[in-house]
Amino acid sequence: MYIRVMNNYIKKLIISLLIIGGALCLNTSALANSNLEVRDDSISQNNSLSDDKPLASATLQLNDVESGTPIKGATFTLRKLVPLPVSVLYEGLTTDENGKIIVENLSPGYYEFTQISTPEGYSLPKIKTTVFYILEYETETGHYAEDKTVTIFNKVTDPTDPTDPTDPTDPTDPTNPTDLRNSNGTIRPIENKKSLPKTGERETVRTALIGFLIILSSFIFIKRLKKE
């Protein structure tokens, strides 16, 4: 490709829209009262793209969901999701007294904070992961990556309702013991209320019945003898 250019009033040539590579500048004509000197000067411009990517920082802010006060002592893990492969960058990141975690030198892409633990008095949220994106943009002065701030909230642990105590059982009234003392203070014998069989009375009745039968038999026997 050939471009015809002319110098301006300050005797400078400005050539733009050059592609990456080498260029050759040839002087083909001269002004009046000037000598033409032909030189073959090869010029090159280092327009190679830099492999250095813009870097940014990510700030995690952890607050109380009710009061908005910073929470100190919670731990997080940071993973890079995109570009692949997925990799764990940091483990055991802990929020400071301002509830912050600041991670620097992150290249553009998708990242994920995962909450691992909370300080005493707080409970882990149901969704423990937060995904964010570091954006890359370009201006006239170069490529840049935008710093990112992620805000996460934790809730105070709900107190456990105390269980109602079991109502105690009413005690049974004790049985009054039988008073075994007489009026004079002596202990009277325990009366056995169960009646024992009267063995002597039964024997007397049986003997009387046998005697009556014997007398009756004798009387009948004597009466028969008299009739004979």
What pLDDT does 187 receive? 65
Examine the pLDDT at 161 and tell me if it is beyond 80: no
Q: Could you give phi then psi for residue 57, rounded to 5 degrees?
A: -115, 155
Q: CA 86, 90, 95, 99: dihedral to nearest 10 degrees?
A: -40
pLDDT in tens, 28-39: 666 666 565 555
Q: If you write DSSP's letter for every residue of 75-131 in order, what string do you get?
A: EEEEEEEESSSPEEEEEEEE--TTSEEEEEEEPSEEEEEEEEE--TTEE--S--EEE
What pLDDT does 220 receive? 79
The answer to whether the CB of 182 falls within 8 A of the CB of 149 is no
| Residue from 80, 27, 43, 73 nearest 58 by CA | 80
What pLDDT does 194 receive? 56
Q: What is the mean pLDDT of the chain?
A: 77
Domain limits, the chain: 56-156
Examine the pLDDT at 125 and tell me if it is beyond 70: yes
Share of the chain above pLDDT 90, in %: 41
What pLDDT does 103 receive? 98
Q: Kindly report the number of other CB atoms within 10 A of residue 183's CB atom.
A: 6
Contacts of 31 (CB under 8 A, 6+ apart): none
Examine the pLDDT at 18 and tell me if it is beyond 80: no
Kindly state the average pLDDT of the residues 117-143. 92
pLDDT in tens, 83-116: 899 999 999 999 999 999 999 999 999 999 999 9
Tell me the C-alpha distance between 58 and 106, whole Å.
7
Fold of 56-156: Immunoglobulin-like (2.60.40)
What pLDDT does 43 receive? 44
Higher pLDDT, 181 or 219: 219
Answer whether 0.85 is exceeded by the pTM.
no
Kindly state the average pLDDT of the residues 183-205. 62
